[in-house]
Structure 1
Amino acid sequence: MTRPPSRIDLLVDAYETIAFEAANHLPRETGGILLGYQDNGTIVATHALVVEGQGATTNRYVRDDIRADELLQEFLEQRADDDPIGYVGEWHSHPSLSGPSTVDHAAMRATAKVSSNPIALLVFAPGATGAFFGLIARRQRFGKTTTKEAVVSVPPSRFPPLGPLPDGAVRGDGPVFISYRQSDGTAQADALEDLLRAAGLVVWRDHTDLRPGTTTDRLEQALTRGLSAGVLVVTPDIAHSDIVRERELPRLLQLDADPNFSLCIANTVTRAGEEVKCDYDAPDRLLRLAPARTLADKKQANMRQPSGGEVEIVRDLLMHRVEQRKPIIRAEGRDFTIRVQSRPASSALDADEEDLHIRLKPSDDGRLPSRGALQLLQKTLPLTSDAVYASGAKSVRVSGGAHLSVGLAVGAALPETKIGRVVVVDPEGNAWTSAAPDDDPQTTELTIEPTRIEQDQAAELKHRVAIFVTLTPHADRTAFEQLVNDSADGFDAAEIISLGSTERIDPREAARLSTAIAQQIKKLSAGQGRAEVHLAFHGPYTMAVLVGRYLNTLRTVVYEWDGNRKDEPRYKPVLVLEPGVTGGPITDVFQ
């Protein structure tokens, strides 16, 4: 005699369908039918089909019987003739934590009355715990039907239970962890990573920082060994990521309980019918936390805005980092430190003692800076400048190296009117400072040479001047002369500022020379009615940073030397500096 079933085993496919659909339909109920088979006292639910309800509400679900029959037939037609899987019952959700109602009991008895087999009912209450309630209805002799509670077993998690966070899981100078679903979140995660790196924050990404080994083990190490912040990128497909839902998010929420950690949410999910607004309830719903408002009550960046929410996230994380670093800077009375690099490979190992570590990707086709990298810098430099100012540091120390245009832009973001003193450290460890030292040897002087311009002297002023600053011995002036004479718009005046000797600059002369160069640039601009400056700079990166500090009253078009041309080298405009306007110091980037 077959033992009557008292247990419902829910297999993975059925479990995932019910959990996803129940969360996705909140705050309304939803449901459908169960497919499976009976096995010696157990109803095994292998699949769950969703049947949209007729006028489903927060406390009512009535399935469409015609649609249910259609879906059942379509399912069975795809199975082999000897496949034992068939209709075994019903399922629906309850937004609140409650089991089968009296109406559910009555409906199941009515269904069982016309069935020769026991019928299962699963009621799922979505949320962080995801409670399942089981009921089995069956017809007995003389047409009597009964319902009985059933034990429900769910598939085991693929992840071990989370333990408490170890000491050191939160570290003020640690990297920022980006959590996302690869299928539709990679592009957004890439954009955030590049922007965060351009702002000076170190980022942990799975494709560069996940070391060989078991993925879950390595991921657990990354989440528990010293992060400063996290960004959760919420996309529609994140609902299907068990790694994000069951491993990354729980750890990020644990970390966020520490005030020294900052969790940002980048929401890309569109609100129904409003293209530029995001659905702030979507993160909880898609990650199966609803009806709790765990994420809805946190600040979310709206990534549907035309300008995107990336800048908002970068600003928040920069200020968070400054909050972490500020007590150290004040206690030690030290400089605020910034490292600038443009090596192609970036990783979480970059996290070191620098307060900020600006990393820019190089271009793929030559020595010119990447336009994309400069556009990122255009967005982040105002934020970086504000963060440095907010730190209260009296001096900033810049190290590393990058293109000269980047050096000028970094300097322009640290103007003398806002930042008291800047020290730039060269690769040999020498300090080039904006404050004149007492031991300036004063052996190097500048030479100012006007450049002849081939143009009609009676022409109207163009309010454009060209300047070549060359701080290395025997610099080739051909490319600059070509720039001056081949310009379609022309110039009112042009000058070459060079060294009066063939010796290299002594770092102790940096303050005096950078000030004198900036004064001469301003003088030439003022002499032509505050003309736009077109600057070709050739010299140490350290001097580019220091000169850039004094360009705050000018509109300066910055050029880079393009030595990879097949015909002949030339100077090419790459960006515009206007430190004194809103959104500066970089206000434009050229192709």
Structure 2
Amino acid sequence: MTGTTEFDHTDPVFISYRHSDGTQPTAELAWLLRAAGIPVWRDIDDLPPGDTNERLKQAIDSGLSGAVLVVTPDAEHSRVIREVEAPRLINLHRAYDDFALGIVNAVQKGSGSVDYGAPDRVLGQSAVSLTGVDQKDSTREGLIALVRGMVFHRIAHRRSAVQSNDATFNLTVQTRNTPQVYDRTGSELDIRVRPSTHERLPSSDGLTDLADVIQLLPTAVTRAGAKRVRITGGAHLTVALALGMALPTSRIGQLEVIDQRGQAWTGDGIARMPDTPTLAVAATGASHELNSLAGRPRVAVYLDLMSPRSDTAFQRYVDENQSALATWTHLRHITDGPLDPARAGELAAEAAYRIREFSSANANAAVDLLVRGPFAMAILVGSLLNTVRVTAYEWDDTQRPSYVPTLRLLSSTTGGAVREVLL
């Protein structure tokens, strides 16, 4: 018998798995879910000290929005899975339509195909208990497909909350902190990219996770019926650019970023040159005639929005890449000192306009984009770079100040804004 209850669909998704042969697909799934914005409860990260069975029961009974059963051959030998986790999670699925249950099925038949009857058998259920539950195989493609279903299930049940909040879609992001289940904020999505072991650069694996699921983000916003997106948190600037390019204002409406001081940086909505420009060309240079370069030309833009001025890393970039560049330009704000959040939309609109015009003037060149400035500005500028092919660079000073190619980005693509991870 099914029914409805007041589930909080911002609660985590519980992952049940066998350590001996399920750790790898579970870890991969957990990071994909987090990169897509869904908090995860996983024992290795979130199980507190105490009696394991009782702690698991408490975790399941204290509030979940869904669960994933990772079915592997060895799961059949786990008393905890068969007697504690699976029965409770399956009962929630049977009792409530709102509870999202998915299965990752890593059991194969002799022919190598997925054994869709395995979940009932392995988990000790009746012959047809789980045949109607969405099952995906344990390949990367299967895990991404399961994440897609979980995201859209969550958003379908958050639509009314978005509408009652002035059609605002709340999104948080972090790329540096180690995520735990208690990190959730009640937002529509809480994007958490796996943290890096590198002192400065983001995690390559984390960026790959993000690349595989970022195409879900603009669809989630539109399915929620949102007219604006409000972003809080913090991230590496290349990830901030990627988020902006995944959320072009032409598709999602108004974009607002709340900084660590609670100040709002609101997008202008269109790339344009203001009557009174606030950016100046600090330096520029040309390396080659356009017709001397094979293929699509490549140009570079250094958008430096911080004080005091710092050219060392950019000059090293120019020295190392000059032979491949048609031309480059260094843009700076006309005044020193902190930027005014109230003028963020106008500044982002001008920066995006200049970047787009620079690309257009050089035969629609691909743009190497190096940003030095606030997280909020990177998002707002990215949201206005429709159709521009961007290679985003991350700053690194672990050995010497330099810029490192990190992501290839392209807005308005069905495959997602992140086209390639370069780390």
Q: Shorter-chain TM-score: what band?
A: over 0.9
**Any residues of structure 2 matched to 1:306-321 within 5 Å, and which?**
307-321=140-154
Q: Residue 499 of structure 1 aligns with which residue? A: 333
Report SS of the residue matched to 1:243: helix
Instruction: Confirm whether residue 177 of structure 1 aligns to residue 11 of structure 2.
Output: no
Q: Residue 144 of structure 1 aligns with which residue? A: none
- TM-superposed deviation, 1:169: 8.7
**Any residues of structure 2 matched to 1:19-168 within 5 Å, and which?**
none
Instruction: Confirm whether residue 577 of structure 1 aligns to residue 413 of structure 2.
Output: no
Q: Which has the larger radius of gyration?
A: 1
Match of 1:384 among 202, 205, 217: 217
Match of 2:124 among 253, 266, 288: 288
Report SS of the residue matched to 2:179: coil
- TM-superposed deviation, 1:473: 1.7
The Cα offsets for residues 473-518 of structure 1, whole Å up to 9 and x where unpaired, read as: 2221122122123217511111111110112211011111101101
Q: Residue 272 of structure 1 aligns with which residue? A: 110
- TM-superposed deviation, 1:334: 4.3
Q: How far apart are the structure 2 equivalents of 1:483 and 1:271?
A: 53
Match of 1:260 among 76, 98, 105: 98
Q: Residue 534 of structure 1 aligns with which residue? A: 368
More deviation, 343-352/463-472: 343-352
Q: How far apart are the structure 1 equivalents of 2:416 and 2:265?
A: 25
Q: Which has the higher helix share?
A: 2
Would you say the 8 A contact 2:18–2:75 is kept in 1?
yes
C-alpha RMSD of matched pairs (Å):
2.2
- TM-superposed deviation, 1:248: 0.8
Q: In the alignment, residue 549 of structure 1 is paired with which amino acid?
A: S
Q: In the alignment, residue 241 of structure 1 is paired with which amino acid?
A: S
Report SS of the residue matched to 1:410: helix
Q: In the alignment, residue 543 of structure 1 is paired with which amino acid?
A: M
Report SS of the residue matched to 2:214: helix
Would you say the 8 A contact 2:29–2:143 is kept in 1?
yes
- TM-superposed deviation, 1:587: 0.4
Q: How far apart are the structure 1 equivalents of 2:90 and 2:6?
A: 12
Q: Residue 374 of structure 1 aligns with which residue? A: 207
Q: How far apart are the structure 2 equivalents of 1:410 and 1:242?
A: 43
The Cα offsets for residues 277-322 of structure 1, whole Å up to 9 and x where unpaired, read as: 31111111212224x2111222201224xx4311111111111111
Match of 2:39 among 202, 214, 229: 202
Report SS of the residue matched to 1:271: coil
Would you say the 8 A contact 1:336–1:396 is kept in 2?
yes
Q: How far apart are the structure 1 equivalents of 2:12 and 2:79?
A: 23
Q: How far apart are the structure 1 equivalents of 2:378 and 2:147?
A: 26
Would you say the 8 A contact 1:169–1:223 is kept in 2?
no
Q: Residue 308 of structure 2 aligns with which residue? A: 474
Q: How far apart are the structure 1 equivalents of 2:287 and 2:385?
A: 28
Would you say the 8 A contact 1:535–1:557 is kept in 2?
yes
Q: How far apart are the structure 2 equivalents of 1:243 and 1:378?
A: 34
Q: How far apart are the structure 1 equivalents of 2:88 and 2:315?
A: 60
Report SS of the residue matched to 2:64: coil
Unpaired runs of at least 5, structure 2: none
- TM-superposed deviation, 1:168: 7.6
Report SS of the residue matched to 2:324: coil
- TM-superposed deviation, 1:520: 0.5
Q: How far apart are the structure 1 equivalents of 2:340 and 2:331?
A: 17
Match of 1:227 among 53, 56, 64: 64
- TM-superposed deviation, 1:390: 0.8
Would you say the 8 A contact 1:169–1:225 is kept in 2?
no
Would you say the 8 A contact 1:170–1:255 is kept in 2?
no
Q: How far apart are the structure 1 equivalents of 2:291 and 2:239?
A: 37
Would you say the 8 A contact 1:396–1:421 is kept in 2?
yes
Instruction: Confirm whether residue 323 of structure 1 aligns to residue 156 of structure 2.
Output: yes
Q: In the alignment, residue 344 of structure 1 is paired with which amino acid?
A: N
Report SS of the residue matched to 1:278: coil
Would you say the 8 A contact 1:473–1:499 is kept in 2?
no
Q: How far apart are the structure 2 equivalents of 1:554 and 1:584?
A: 14
Q: Residue 18 of structure 1 aligns with which residue? A: none
- Number of aligned residue pairs: give it: 415
Q: TM-score, normalization: structure 1?
A: 0.67
Percent of aligned pairs with the same residue?
Answer: 39
Instruction: Confirm whether residue 518 of structure 1 aligns to residue 352 of structure 2.
Output: yes
Q: How far apart are the structure 2 equivalents of 1:534 and 1:272?
A: 50
Instruction: Confirm whether residue 416 of structure 1 aligns to residue 254 of structure 2.
Output: no
Distance 1:345-1:482 versus aligned 2 partners, 3 A rule: closer
Q: How far apart are the structure 1 equivalents of 2:265 and 2:87?
A: 47
